[in-house]
Amino acid sequence: MALKALIIDDFSDFRKLMSHHITTEWPDAVVVEHDPITQGKLPSHFTGSGYDVVLLDHELGEENGLDWLRYFKQLPGFPPVIFMTSHGDELLAVKAIKSGAEDYIPKQKITHDFIIKVIKNAVRKGKQDSALFDKNRDKKTKAPSDIDIPGYRIIKPLTRGMSSSVLLAHSEELDREVVLKVLLQIPESNNESASAFERFIQEYEVITKLSHPNIVKIFAHGASADQAFIAMEYFPRGDLKQRLKEVMPASMAITYLRQMTEAIQVLHQVGILHRDLKPANVMVREDDSIALIDFGLAKQTQIDIDLTLTGEIFGTPYYMSPEQGHGDTVDERSDLYSVGVMFYEMLMGKKPYIAATPLAVIYKHSHADIPYLDPRFSRYQDLINRLMAKDPSERLQTAGELLAYLNNL
C-alpha cells in the first residue's frame, strides 16, 4: 500500500521540498500538505487515521507545534510524528520526544538521505505500534461470524473494513435477502473510532432522506450497546464494474448515464454531494436498472458537517475531478465530472486516464487533454467535453442541465 504522509508547515516552499523528497523515494506516495495559516487548525474529529507519518513544524504562525504534538499523541492509534524546527535546540528536542515525537530534526540539517532514513524508521515503528493497537482493539470488536441481529439470519460475509462489515442476510420480516452493513463497535466519547461512527450514521441519515428508484433502498436500521446496523437492498447481479467487463451498447450507456444523473439530481437538490461516484458504487438490478450506493463520503453542503480534513484526498483517482484530486473545494460539477468519466468508460471499455501511480492519474485529470471517443461515438464527443472539462465553469453546471442535454440528444 502506498505511503501516506501529512506535512504541517506554514512555509509553502518547504512543504513542497519535503513532498519532493518523499515522492522521489516513494513515487506512489500520497502527500497531503496542511498550511495552518490559511487553513487553520485541523478539525476536532481528525484522528490521523490512514496516515503513515506526520511531519510537524515547531512554529505554525501564532500556534506552537508542541501543543499540536501533545494533542495528537492523546489520540489512540495516531501515526508517528516527526518534529521539525528551523534551527537546532537540544532543549526543544527533549520536549518534543517527551511529548511523543518519534524523532526530531532541525531543518538546516535535512538532506534527502537523512530525511528518508528518519521517515523509514518512524513508519517502521508506527507499524509495530499500530499492530499492537489493532490487536488490542480487535479484542473489543466482533468478527462477522459473531454478529447476531434479531430478525436476520446471516448467510455470509461480503466485505470487512476497518470499522464495519458488510454481510448478506435473510430478513425474516421481509422474507428476502438483504445486505447488512454493521458497525462492529459503537465508540465511546473521544474514541478514535468516533469519526468512523459519524460516517456510518451520516450514511444512514443521507439515504433515508431520499426516495428514488436509482438510489439504494433502506429497509431498516438499529443499534444496540455494541453495534449499529443498516439493512439495505441486495443486488445479486453485482455492480457496474462487473458489467463493464462485457461490451456495452451505446444505448445502454446512455440509459445508465440518464439514471445516474436522475439520482444525483435528487442528491444535489437536498444539498448532498456523493464525492465517490465510480462503477463499484453503481449497482445493477435484475431489470437492468441501476442504483447508487455507498454514501460514506457524501458531504452535506447545507449543514456544517465536514468529516474530512481540508486538503485531504478521498475517493478514487480514476474518477476524481481535477479539483477533488487536488483537495480543493468541490460542488455539484465534481460529481458530474465523475459521471462523465464513467460514461466514457461505458462507451470505450477503458478508463480515460491510466498511469503508474495514483498521483500520476490525478495529474492527468488536471493536465491531459480531454479524451477522444472512437469515431463511431463521435455524436457523444461534445457531451464528454462538457462533462470532463478541466475548469468546472466550462462544464454542464447541474444535473438538470445534463438531463436537458440528454433529452435534446
User: What's the pLDDT tens digit per position in 224-240?
Assistant: 656 778 888 999 898 99
Q: Helices 399-408 and 332-348, interaxial angle, to 10°?
A: 40
Q: How far apart are CA 225 and CA 187, in angstroms?
A: 10
Q: For 93-107, 278-292, 313-327, 363-377, which range has the lowest pLDDT when averaged over its residues?
A: 313-327
The β-bridge partners of 57 are 84
Q: How far apart are CA 293 and CA 231, in angstroms?
A: 13
- Those residues whose C-beta lies under 8 Å from the C-beta of residue 146, and which sit 6 or more positions away, are none
- Confirm whether 276 is a catalytic residue: yes
Q: How far apart are CA 52 and CA 180, in angstroms?
A: 31
Q: How far apart are CA 293 and CA 207, in angstroms?
A: 9
How many Cα atoms are found within 13 Å in the side-chain-facing hemisphere of 380?
Answer: 25
Q: For 83-97, 107-121, 290-304, which range has the lowest pLDDT when averaged over its residues?
A: 290-304
Is pLDDT at 186 greater than 80 in this prediction?
no
Domains contained in the chain, CATH given:
4-138 (3.40.50.2300), 144-232 (3.30.200.20), 240-408 (1.10.510.10)
- The pTM is what? 0.62
Q: In the prediction, which pLDDT does 129 show?
A: 58
The active-site residue out of 35, 52, 276, 294 is: 276
Is pLDDT at 403 greater than 90 in this prediction?
yes
How sure is the predictor about 304, in pLDDT bands with cuts at 50, 70 and 90? Answer: very low
Residue 290 · residue 243 · CB < 8 Å = no
Report the chain's mean pLDDT, rounded to a whole number.
81
> What is the rounded radius of gyration, in angstroms, for the C-alpha atoms of the chain?
23
C-alpha separations of 27 from 21, 81, 148, 199, 386 in Å: 10, 21, 44, 30, 32
Residue 186 · residue 201 · CB < 8 Å = no
Amino acid identity of 96? A
Main-chain phi, psi angles of 232, to 5 degrees: -135, 175
Amino acid identity of 155? I
User: Taking every pair of C-alpha atoms in the chain, what is the biggest distance, in angstroms?
Assistant: 71
Other CB atoms within a 10 A radius of the CB of residue 7 amount to 23
Q: Which residue has the higher pLDDT, 202 or 179?
A: 179
Q: Helices 112-138 and 12-25, interaxial angle, to 10°?
A: 80
Q: In the prediction, which pLDDT does 71 show?
A: 87
Pairing state between β 228-232 and 176-183: antiparallel
Q: In the prediction, which pLDDT does 400 show?
A: 96
**Residue (of 240, 219, 5) closest to 115 by Cα position:** 5
Average pLDDT over residues 146-167: 78
